[in-house]
Amino acid sequence: MKQYNSWDEIDKDTGGLVTSLTYIVLFVNDQVYNFEMQLSDHIKGCGLYRQKVKMLINNMDRQMAAYNRQICRIAGVNAEAMALITQSMEDDIKPHIDRYGFTVSQALHNAI
């Protein structure tokens, strides 16, 4: 296996595919984080927010915060820079994901 000394070498050999894949993975992780925040807010507002659920939600919040800190540390950027990158990815990719989701839901609906 070839040894690489820099990200630029990897990017050049793969025609940018590794960089694209990396940003897509970061985008998907960002979507999971957004969903976790929405879920957390929703659960905190409902009547089922009791001790065990509270503990699970707090644990989920801590895990996502630790994950985000680790990603920023690995990428060597601050949280604001990472947010700009993932927002840009969302602006580009989310419409395609939404259309795909709608198409799949329509196909399932029509199959019934």
Query: What would the pLDDT profile of 64-98 be if each residue is shown by its tens digit?
Result: 889 888 877 877 778 787 778 778 777 887 788 78
**Single-letter amino acid code for the residue at 54:** K
Q: Give me 55's structure tokens.
A: 């503990």
Residue 62 has what pLDDT?
92
Buried b (16+ CB within 10 A) or exposed e, 14-47: eeeeeeeeebeebbeebbebeebeeebeeeeeee
pTM: 0.50
Unique residue bearing structure tokens 């395609």: 96
Whether 38 has a pLDDT exceeding 80, the answer reads: yes
Whether 60 has a pLDDT exceeding 80, the answer reads: yes
